[in-house]
Structure 1
């Protein structure tokens, strides 16, 4: 059963950035209660395509609840200009700044940065450079960029074994260290992007603490947060953030072609962001 009723189509447009035109979707807030604005930062490489369906469902649900939601394809990704092989972490951070400025010109209220997987790393990097405080909504966040990079490079090794029955030749990490790009699952990863991603970390921003909503999915029932997540959440709590963290049961939709639904995740997100105003005051 769908969580969504009828809703207007989002506004689609191309946002000029220093890296070309980035494709965006804006879901205007609906209803009489305007709760704030949300900037979504998507995951890495093919995970962007795998997650589009569930992210669109969530964006519509948040708009119906009174949030203005902006989705952007970073430069070299999705329907934006540029090539993935030319992308850098610094360029993506610049894209995110442009998206934030546009969102603030078109939607008010408390700011939420919504990041999924590697997008969570970009969200915290952006927050450190903004002139305003914010809240975070993190879906299955990557704990650090090095871990995300290693997971991505494993796809290269798997492809070699499936294609040739052996994994001979230089490793992807060796090629990148020597300044050579690597083709992984249809994406050409440059040494510059690999370095930027590997250096990224999921640390609390150096500013006034706000709310952190942290949601994970696991295929098995009675899911629990991973030890790595619990360790990271302790750091945020110590830094003064109001943490709400849940492990939910649902499909690992970022690993498959975009045909999965994750209603439990969508509903948990909606519940977390629509608590009474006394519980969700801006930082």
Structure 2
């Protein structure tokens, strides 16, 4: 294998963090002229596993186009330290901050925060904290959830009322148990009240600090032609009104975050590459 081929291989490492280490995978930029840096923030619970295939395809495509891409497994997720029950929204935001700091020390070019589903909420909160030097942060959001509360409700619906683990005898629903500060067990995950509270408070609102950058908002659709859902109109208008350069698009593709990780989404990958490499004028 040639030195150039070896340099293009993803680099796996552990980033020190609070309560253990975080597994990271870095795809170094290929070519002689790096185009920028991308930090990927993954979705919630089992959606992380369901989306790994498509995300890996996109990360490789971005690296080939000259972008350095860093993927991180947050506290209690994937191959990182801790259990899901240990996770809090504040801890995940701290992990994202540490990953951004590491990535900013690698190469040059604009910084993109790439969030999938609930990871989009985390990316938006991280963008609220401006970069050193005042450079704008750009956002790439895949299938963003409207709010953390929506994501939480979707997750709680995974378990039928008769199957609430640890709550059936008291007659409590998971939402009631969380409100009382208790943890609930759903679909193999232990969700703490602390994490549920932080997730539930998260919103897709434009940052109020730092310069506005670009927002690329991409969703998959089964309709012909593909169309963004009507619910996207209001948040997109808010971002545009806050001075962000908004590019929103729907492409045909499967709801791959809901499957076992065997789907492909070539139109989404192509749209992402086009959006990041064909930058429109200010």
Aligned 1:74-223 pairs, distance under 5 A? 74-131=74-131, 132=134, 133-157=136-160, 160=163, 169-206=171-208, 207-223=210-226
Mark the CA change 1:158 to 1:138 in structure 2 (over 3 Å): closer, same or farther.
farther
Q: Does 1:15 align with 2:15?
A: yes
Shift of 1:130: 3.1
Q: Secondary structure at the match of 1:71?
A: strand
Shift of 1:6: 11
Unaligned runs of 5+ in 2: none
Q: Secondary structure at the match of 1:155?
A: coil
Distance of 1:49 and 1:16 partners within structure 2: 23
Q: Secondary structure at the match of 2:220?
A: strand
Q: Does 1:232 align with 2:207?
A: no
Mark the CA change 1:219 to 1:159 in structure 2 (over 3 Å): closer, same or farther.
farther
Give every structure 1 segment of 4 or more consecutive aligned residues whose post-TM-superposition deviation is greater than 4 Å.
none
Q: Tell me, yes or no, if the aligned pair for 2:8 and 2:30 is still in contact at 8 Å.
A: no
Distance of 1:243 and 1:44 partners within structure 2: 25
Shift of 1:159: 7.8
Distance of 1:43 and 1:148 partners within structure 2: 10
Mark the CA change 1:159 to 1:230 in structure 2 (over 3 Å): closer, same or farther.
farther
Q: Tell me, yes or no, if the aligned pair for 2:161 and 2:173 is still in contact at 8 Å.
A: no
TM-score (norm 2): 0.91
TM-score (norm 1): 0.91
CA deviation map 1:36-59 (0-9, x unaligned): 100000000000000000000000
Residue in 2 aligned with 1:253?
256
CA deviation map 1:78-107 (0-9, x unaligned): 000001001000000000011001101113
Distance of 2:281 and 2:11 partners within structure 1: 27
Q: Tell me, yes or no, if the aligned pair for 1:273 and 1:280 is still in contact at 8 Å.
A: no
Distance of 2:78 and 2:281 partners within structure 1: 33
Distance of 1:37 and 1:125 partners within structure 2: 18
Q: Tell me, yes or no, if the aligned pair for 1:140 and 1:214 is still in contact at 8 Å.
A: yes
Distance of 1:280 and 1:25 partners within structure 2: 32
Distance of 2:62 and 2:281 partners within structure 1: 15
Shift of 1:7: 8.9
Q: Secondary structure at the match of 2:25?
A: strand
Residue in 1 aligned with 2:31?
31
CA RMSD of aligned residues (A): 2.1
Mark the CA change 1:271 to 1:102 in structure 2 (over 3 Å): closer, same or farther.
same
May I ask how many residue pairs the two structures share in their alignment? 271
Residue in 2 aligned with 1:63?
63
Mark the CA change 1:101 to 1:225 in structure 2 (over 3 Å): closer, same or farther.
same
